[in-house]
Copies of this chain bind each other. A is one copy, B any other.
Amino acid sequence: MQVSFTSAEILDLVRPQETRGATDALIVGIGALASAGPGELSFLGNPKFRAEAAASRASVLLLPLDYVGEPAAGQLHLLVADPSAALDRICQRIEQMLWPQPLAGNHPSAVVDASAKLGEGVTIGPLCIVEAGAEIGPRTHLQAQVFVGRNARLGEGCWLMPGAVVTAECVLGNRVRLHPGVVVGSDGFGYTFVQGRHEKVPQVGDVIIEDDVEVGANTTIDRARFSRTRIGAGTKIDNQVQIAHNVVIGKHCILCAQVGISGSTQLEDYVILGGQAGVAGHLTIGKGAKSGGAAAITSSVPAGTFVNGSPARTYMLERRLQVLFQRLPELFKRVGELEEQIKLSSA
């Protein structure tokens, strides 16, 4: 980052209960206790790293109230109730500096249809396209090179980053964030096999993404055959996730990178899928169910269940089976020895 803070600015953000020592270094970075050096800030989030805090060369340290120890020369200790929360306040400030609120209005290079309805404080950045009949809610920001198709509707305070695509008729709630390269509303993958050829089944439904959903870079979400592909409020989706047509995802789910969800599958609320997990079509993943990374989920998962493996099984069963799998050489040997003994005893 190219932003920087003086000690005074940090004190103002953190408001520590106690300070020890002082530094006149300009803080230009944040680092882990062991790697941070002069001009950087670090923090003791986990008590087990106390020794690393004592040895840290960072110019500013965020420490818990019960921390015992004196700062090195030119080092400032800030004692706070919750060092991680204090760090978050600094990071939020940096976030505002890195991505300042854009000025409202349409960049002259944007192509915005005259029939589009733009709310108050909307920013349409350079080289964006907004097609006929689209509605963009107040303070929503199309950053750059974004595409919003015919009659698409976006809520308030959304942020669509460079190259994001929302195709015709799709709907975004409020405060939805689409990272670069996201595609919302590509056709579902449906064909019927007729006389040796795959004939396209029309995909005329749409996608609705509810409030406070964040979608990672290059993720793709297909429109429904008819009706709607739905992403529930508060769900967070990582990069390169694939969500097929007619999938229904509940509220506050977490889908890690490269997850794939096949058509018409339903995830209830609070489901968590590890990276590269795949879910077959027409299944139900119950409320609060979880999967490990790379799990291949081929049947429905009851609520609250943790599954793992390829094919996925309940976590404890899979763990036990993997342990026994590693013992197969031993088992083959034991069976061979038994056979030997039987042969001898019957000889």
- Knowing A30-B226, A204-B94 are in contact, say whether A311-B320 is a contact too (CB < 8 A): no
Contact A334 B324 (CB under 8 A): no
Cβ-neighbour of A91 out of B202, B257, B339 (below 8 A): B202
Chain A, 295-327, CB within 8 A of any chain B CB: 296, 298, 309-311, 313, 317, 320-322, 324-327
Q: Which residues of B contact A296 (CB under 8 A)?
A: 276, 293-294, 310
Q: Which residues of B contact A87 (CB under 8 A)?
A: 226
Q: How extensive is the interface on chain A, given as a class?
A: 35 or more
Residue interface mask A151-168, B partner, CB < 8 A = 1: 100000000011101011
Q: Which residues of B contact A62 (CB under 8 A)?
A: none
Contact B256 A91 (CB under 8 A): no
Cβ-neighbour of A198 out of B151, B234, B309, B324 (below 8 A): B234
Is A216 engaged at the interface, CB distance under 8 Å to the other chain? yes
Contact B168 A179 (CB under 8 A): no
Q: How far is the CA of A254 from the CA of B162 in the complex (A)?
A: 28
Contact B339 A342 (CB under 8 A): no
Q: Which residues of B contact A123 (CB under 8 A)?
A: none
Contact B278 A276 (CB under 8 A): yes
Q: Which residues of B contact A189 (CB under 8 A)?
A: 216, 236, 238-239, 256-257
Q: How far is the CB of A101 from chain B (nearest CB, A)?
A: 13
Q: How far is the CB of A190 from chain B (nearest CB, A)?
A: 9
Is A183 engaged at the interface, CB distance under 8 Å to the other chain? yes
Q: How far is the CA of A109 from the CA of B127 in the complex (A)?
A: 9
User: By DSSP majority rule, is chain A's interface helix, strand, loop, or mixed?
Assistant: loop
Is A331 engaged at the interface, CB distance under 8 Å to the other chain? yes
Q: How far is the CA of A32 from the CA of B227 in the complex (A)?
A: 8
Contact B98 A127 (CB under 8 A): no
Q: How far is the CB of A310 from chain B (nearest CB, A)?
A: 5
Is A6 engaged at the interface, CB distance under 8 Å to the other chain? no
Contact B242 A239 (CB under 8 A): yes
- Knowing A2-B151, A258-B258, A338-B335 are in contact, say whether A183-B31 is a contact too (CB < 8 A): no
Is A222 engaged at the interface, CB distance under 8 Å to the other chain? yes
Cβ-neighbour of A147 out of B145, B322, B345 (below 8 A): B145
Q: How far is the CA of A346 from the CA of B149 in the complex (A)?
A: 79
Is A111 engaged at the interface, CB distance under 8 Å to the other chain? yes
Extra contacts, 6 of them, besides A129-B145, A240-B260, A335-B338 (Cβ < 8 A), are A29-B227, A87-B226, A147-B163, A198-B234, A338-B338, A345-B345
What are 6 A-B pairs at a CB distance below 8 A?
Answer: A30-B205, A127-B129, A129-B145, A179-B186, A189-B257, A220-B240
